[in-house]
Chains A and B, each alone.
Chain A
Amino acid sequence: MIDHKRILIVDDEEDIRDVVRVSLEEFGGWQTITAASGFEGLQIAKTAVLDAILMDISMPDMDGFQLCAALQSDPHAQQIPVIVLTAKVLPSDRQQFAALAVAGVITKPFDPVIIWQQVAEILGWSIEQ
């Protein structure tokens, strides 16, 4: 097992939050915190000690772009690497992500067994079996 990483999951879909949470905890052995909206996620990111944020893009009220901008403007939160987990997979969608200050993108649907490995790979974490 690798270090006990702490990941913030931001997604408005409850089912998806559950699946991601289970995947990271059960297979990656990490700790997770979940947020159901951008606002909630931002509040947590400002104070909590986090190794990464895994966030959705299409969310009501504060979407992923707005959340990214908000995180960047926060001295504490801007240190945390962000990975986008999105169902927006078309080329026109991908172009929009280029402008974002994110470490990587993981598309939905994802394989729950290996998603933790994808995160580790994007962030350059070593994986010890």
Chain B
Amino acid sequence: MATQPDLSWLAHLLMFNCDTGNSAGFLPVEVGWVVLLAAASGSIAALITDWIAPKLRSGIEPRLAGCDQSHQDQARAESGCRPEYQSIYQSIYQSKYQSAEAALQQSETLNRAILSALPDLIIRMRRDGTYLEIKHATAFPSQLPHFEVGGNIRNVLPSESAQRYLAATDKALQTGEIQIYEFPLRVQDQPLWQEARVLPLHADEVLIVVRDLTQRQRTEEALRRSESQLSMAQRVAQVGNWELDLLTQARTWSEATFYHWGMDPSQPEPSLAELLPRVHPDDRALFQQSRQQAIETGLAYSLDLRVIHPDGSLRYLELRTEPILDEQGEVVKLVGISLDITHRKQTEQALQEREAMLRAIGDNLPKGFIYQRVYEPGKGSYYSYVSAGIERLLGIKPEAVLADSKAIRTVGFAEDLALADRVVRESLQNLSPIELQMRNRTPQGEIQWSSIRSRPRRLADGRTVWDGVEVDITDLKRTEAALRASEQLFRSAFDDAPIGISLISPTGQFVKVNAYYCRLLGYSEAELLNLCFQEITDPADREADLEGLRQLLAGEIQSFQMQKRFITKQGTTVPVYLNAALVRDQNGQPLYSVGHIQDIRDRLKVERMKDEFISVVSHELRTPLTSIRGALGILETGVFDQRPAQAQHMLKIAINNSDRLVRLVDDILSLERLVSGKVTLVMESCQVAELMQQAIDSVQSLADQAGIVLSMQPLETELRAAPDAIIQTLTNLLSNAIKFSMPGGTVWLVAEPQWIEPAEGDPVSEILFTVKDQGRGIPSDKLEIIFEQFQQVDVSDSRRKGGTGLGLAICKKIVQQHDGRIWVESQLGKGSQFYFALPVVGSHDRP
């Protein structure tokens, strides 16, 4: 490299050490040092001061000392050159034997001109500080007081600076060596950074060359700052830069590049072979291929590369490479940057995973979908995302909704959509959350319920975004409906129950009562809710009721039952059967007692009737027994042994009453069988006239005894009936008629067909039987009850006439089992007519 075209500035300080004793045969010089300052621009100029030149003789051996570092830096800073430094050393010394004097003289003018062009302040000064000569320089102030030849440095510079110079002068003169200092100087309030070189000239004089470094200092400062900023920027951006000179294979890597590849920046840049193992095996081929292509074709490339660091960690690098071409279009260099994008890649991956997760959730919602709806001013509403579940739920493809948001409206109901539109408008205006329940028509034509929830966000660009979810709540709706129905059912069960139901607080206050309760007690609901049960309970039952409630509350019993009496609003007493239990809350605290009350007035009446019946039967059985027991007891004593007529009378009493007892037992049993339905009457076709004749025959002797005439008007027709039962009925009626007729009277038995027209349905054909007597008749108030058990018109009659008091009750039961009717018409003193009518069933029913 003999020359360097862009080398604009070069300064060399050539120092020739002219050791007097060293160069044999050479003329000794007075000074041990000769400084030759050379400055040139594009060429070499030698500077030889006029005061050095005469001293030089000839034959000075030049020795190249080279540039020290400070000169390199200065040169670089001032020239703005790239950091590469190349030194060109050039001997300026043409011949050591040329006549120095002559040369100096020839070049004196030139030298002076050059000297004056130097930016340095050059002073010749005596040891005592007296200026002997001064060459001013623009960088230094020249108007300082006493700064002139003959002036003294002590009077020019501040004493501290002056002392520095004088000390340096002494040292230079003592050692014979150049003294170089850099120090700041403040002159006329101007900061100066100067470099002073103090050269010993001879015994008492020094040459001081002062160079202004202020500018250099500032430039270096700026450079340092710039480099620091660049480095910081690169560190912050994690940008590494590198270049590869293809000719020299020289590589230059920035520190960050080393780190990106997991390499030590203190080591030399690695070769491609060293680099490749760091590349992820899957990326190696691409990396090499791209690189090779760039070299061959000059195409820039950008590559995301996975790099494995020595610690095994995987890093992502983004490489951008730009080939540099020479004038012939050949690629001579690759320059590039690398960027660690691991974090970005990880973030991207996390984002992708998050998106995939979101999509999976949306697509896998069992009965629903998620969506993002956007409102864009000037553009309107559209869906930016709809998960796959929409197809399962609504039968609409997500793509259809993404393409046209109205697609989703096709399955909705007009009134629901109108409501939804209003809610969305409000949400757009107030950013209020959306909560809707809407109906949709499924592809199967069923109604499906959806719950829609979303929350709006307003984006910086003015768009409004709703992230929402729509899920199927049809089952919930069904359950709700079922629950409502169930509640309705329960409410009606409570309200319409045929028993009184009440809820009572632990103190006895009515909390809730149903309609029956109100009706039974004669109070309105509002009136009852202002009362305690104690207030309307019969005082006689109050204690027992309160005790039951106390035991319930104490947990001693689960429920209690009692018969009690309430006093109605009207003041009457209502007997009820109470069943009470306690309802507790989830903590076991009593809430209220539930009471069921049943009106037992009817039941008590039935019980009373039953008691009365038993009492009557008991009485009716005991009565003949009394006679039998008494008569037999008397006979047993033998008291009538000697009085046969009396004894006979007693026996007759016993026998008669025994017969009566048998009849009574028979009647009781027949009636019981008829009433309980244990014996079903067997219907068969009968000749009515035959039935009548048999009945007449069975009572004929009774009639004869009583002197009664029987008159029969037979009917020759058929009847479907239980013959024995009909004969029994006729016999009972006939014997009653005979018993209650006066001797010589007549009893008639008549049967006749008749048609009756009921209020509803077709006319019915009947056979009407009539038993008529001329007896004493029946009081009108007894006409109904004589058909009940033991309800004889006259109790003593039955005894006297041998009746049991059950005959008419048995007749009534038999007629009822034939779907017939029985009644009596009577006139006191004139006689009675007992009627019973049996329906004639159709011929097809005949056997």
Contacts and interface: CB of A to CB of B under 8 A. Distances in A.
B348 to A, nearest CB: 100
Contact of A15 (B614, B633, B656, B797): B656
Given A12-B796, A60-B795, A90-B614, A112 B622 contact: no
Contacts of B628: 109
A3 interface: no
Contacts of A74: none
B630 interface: yes
Nearest to A37: B796
Interface stretch (A16-24, A43-51, A117-125): A16-24
Given A19-B631, A87-B619, A112-B634, 18 more contacts: A12-B795, A13-B626, A13-B627, A13-B796, A15-B631, A15-B656, A18-B653, A19-B626, A19-B630, A22-B630, A22-B646, A26-B634, A27-B637, A27-B639, A92-B611, A93-B615, A108-B622, A113-B637
B639 A26 contact: yes
A90 B618 contact: yes
B515 interface: no
B463 interface: no
Given A23-B634, A90-B618, A15 B653 contact: yes
B653 A19 contact: yes
* Secondary structure of the A contact surface, majority rule: loop
Contact of B627 (A16, A37, A59, A89): A16
B798 to A, nearest CB: 10
* Secondary structure of the B contact surface, majority rule: helix
Nearest to A111: B633
Contacts of B611: 90, 92
Given A15-B656, A88-B615, A88-B619, A109 B630 contact: yes
Given A109-B629, A113-B637, A13 B623 contact: yes
A36 B637 CA distance: 27
Contacts of B634: 19, 22-23, 26, 112-113
A31 interface: no
Contacts of A27: 637, 639
Interface in B723-743: none
Contacts of B797: 60
Contact of B626 (A12, A37, A87, A113): A87
Contacts of B294: none
Contacts of B631: 15, 19
B625 interface: yes
A22 B649 CA distance: 11
A110 B626 CA distance: 7
B569 interface: no
A78 interface: no
Contacts, number: 93
A16 B657 CA distance: 10
Interface residues of A, number: 29
A58 interface: yes
Contacts of A111: 629, 633
A63 to B, nearest CB: 9
Interface string A56-91: 001110000000000000000000000000011110
B794 interface: yes
B76 interface: no
B799 interface: yes
Nearest to A25: B639
Nearest to A112: B633
Interface string B190-223: 0000000000000000000000000000000000
Contact of A13 (B618, B633, B646, B799): B799
Given A12-B799, A60-B794, A90-B611, A112 B627 contact: no
18 contacts: A13-B623, A13-B627, A15-B631, A15-B653, A15-B656, A15-B657, A16-B623, A19-B634, A19-B650, A19-B653, A37-B796, A58-B619, A59-B796, A88-B619, A108-B625, A109-B622, A110-B630, A113-B634
Given A59-B796, A90-B614, A23 B623 contact: no
A87 B627 CA distance: 11
A103 B551 CA distance: 46
Most B C-beta atoms less than 10 A away, residue of A12, A15, A20, A92: A15
A13 to B, nearest CB: 6
Most A C-beta atoms less than 10 A away, residue of B623, B629, B795: B623
Most B C-beta atoms less than 10 A away, residue of A20, A37, A108: A108
Interface in B631-651: 631, 633-634, 637, 639, 646, 649-650
Most A C-beta atoms less than 10 A away, residue of B626, B656, B800: B626
